[in-house]
């Protein structure tokens, strides 16, 4: 099949049914919403309007337009070289997490500000809280070890009135802690989410970026930004994803009744077996693995709870049925 004859589906049926990004991008509408995007839109070799996804400025402007058009966020920006996440994939995590909560609520999606979510690693972009508050009315606490990321997220929150009473940012002062220092005494969360740094070193992160460029058939040059942006703490940590999640599991076991469902994205399927063993070692009551697909990319998140059936029922009556 020649490039000119390639057919793109009108609907991305692999995304969650409630995901607002299942349809192909309507660049005319997006440019009306965000005129700055117009500069970056052109006709690609398939004779469709698109942007150059290797251009960090273009990707950031597309995100700005999507967040405005679909979620009503009028003021959004991130500092140079910070991670600019793909909005459809972030939305999928939120929607599947909502489904997870519904399984503990007689199939009913818990909505409204009674639901409190902890976003481990809110980043400079604040995307998970934006989607979660807009789609389900949940309240969020976002944590990060990077002061500039927290500053950026706070700026997004304060400049968008709909977020000011819904999202709180907290700086994690100790890089070895995940929950300690963030979860306050007598505080309870219905859900925690996380997109952990999945590389074990800077070299590994750069190798991953090289593969990304190769897949996009783009020649890397000295001006190419790592992974289209991303600080070290966003992309890699000592021991990589496996070590970060192991630490998360161990620390969650110290707070078994503080959060109903703990969860984290797992980018590397080969890490799952060890993660299941770690979860068994801390005697979790239930473990769920939720698979997600975005185009050719297959991802998943793992969720666990220490609450038994009676504790879950008591939690639901106390917090979700007020």
pLDDT at 175: 87
How is residue 132 written in tokens? 């979660």
Domain range list for the chain: 85-320
pLDDT at 207: 47
pLDDT at 236: 43
> In b/e form, how buried is each residue of 179-201, taking b as 16+ CB within 10 angstroms?
beebbeeeeebbbbbbbbbbbbe
CA distance 209 to 213: 6
Q: Are 205 and 152 in contact (CB under 8 A)?
A: no
Burial of 144 (C-beta count, 10 Å sphere; 0-12/13-18/19+): buried
Ordered DSSP codes for 203-225: HHHHHHHHHHHHHTT----TTPP
CATH code for the part of the protein at 85-320 = 3.40.50.150
pLDDT at 57: 94
CA distance 310 to 322: 18
Residue 28 phi/psi, 5-degree rounding, is -65, -45
According to DSSP H, which parts of the chain are helical? 27-33, 56-71, 87-103, 127-136, 147-159, 161-164, 202-215, 232-235, 240-252, 272-281, 309-315
CA distance 124 to 79: 7
Taking the CA atoms of residue 190, residue 153, residue 57 and residue 29 in that order, the dihedral angle to the nearest 10 degrees is 60
pLDDT at 297: 81
CA distance 206 to 241: 16
Strand-pair partners of 141: 118, 168
pLDDT at 213: 46
pLDDT in tens, the chain (322 residues): 444 444 556 788 899 999 999 999 999 999 999 999 999 999 998 889 999 998 999 999 999 999 999 999 999 999 998 989 999 999 999 999 999 999 999 999 999 999 999 999 999 999 999 999 999 999 999 999 999 999 999 999 999 999 999 999 999 999 899 999 999 999 999 999 999 985 344 444 444 455 554 554 554 444 444 444 544 554 445 657 999 999 999 999 999 999 999 999 998 899 999 999 999 999 999 999 999 988 778 899 999 999 999 999 999 999 987 6
Q: Is the pTM of this model over 0.75?
A: yes
pLDDT at 73: 98
pLDDT at 240: 77
Q: Are 245 and 264 in contact (CB under 8 A)?
A: yes
DSSP-derived letter for residue 257 is T
3-state secondary structure (DSSP) of residue 122: coil
pLDDT at 154: 98
pLDDT at 191: 98
How is residue 21 written in tokens? 């990004």
Q: Which residues contact 253 (CB under 8 A, 6 or more apart)?
A: 282, 283, 284, 306
pLDDT at 2: 42
pLDDT at 5: 41
């Amino acid at each position: 099949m020649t490039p000119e004859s390639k057919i793109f589906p009108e609907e991305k049926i692999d995304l969650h049914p409630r995901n607002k990004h299942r349809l192909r991008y309507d660049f005319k509408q997006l440019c009306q919403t965000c005129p700055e995007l117009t500069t970056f839109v052109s006709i690609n070799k398939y004779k469709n309007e698109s942007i150059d996804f290797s251009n960090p400025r273009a990707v950031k402007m597309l995100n700005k337009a999507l967040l405005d058009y679909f979620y009503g966020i009028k003021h959004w920006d991130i500092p140079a070289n910070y991670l600019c996440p793909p909005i459809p994939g972030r939305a999928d995590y939120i929607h599947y997490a909502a489904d997870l909560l519904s399984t503990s609520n007689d199939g009913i999606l818990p909505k409204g500000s009674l639901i409190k979510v902890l976003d481990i690693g809110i980043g400079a972009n604040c995307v998970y809280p934006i989607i979660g508050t807009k789609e389900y009315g949940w309240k969020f606490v976002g944590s990060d070890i990077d002061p500039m990321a927290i500053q950026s997220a706070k700026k997004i929150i304060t400049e968008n009135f709909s977020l000011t009473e819904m999202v709180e940012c907290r700086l994690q002062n100790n890089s070895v802690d995940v929950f300690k220092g963030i979860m306050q005494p007598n505080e309870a969360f219905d859900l925690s989410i996380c997109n952990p740094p999945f590389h074990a070193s800077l070299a590994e992160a750069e190798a991953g970026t090289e593969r990304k460029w190769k897949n996009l058939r783009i020649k890397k040059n000295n001006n190419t930004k790592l992974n289209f942006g991303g600080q070290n703490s966003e992309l890699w940590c000592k021991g990589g994803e496996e070590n970060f999640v192991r630490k998360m599991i161990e620390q969650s076991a110290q707070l078994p009744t503080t959060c109903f469902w703990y969860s984290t994205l797992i980018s590397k399927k080969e890490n799952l077996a060890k993660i299941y063993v770690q979860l068994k070692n801390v005697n979790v009551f239930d473990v769920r693995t939720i698979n997600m697909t975005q185009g050719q990319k297959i991802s998943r998140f793992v969720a666990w709870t220490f609450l038994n059936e009676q504790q879950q029922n008591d939690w639901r009556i106390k917090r979700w049925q007020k």
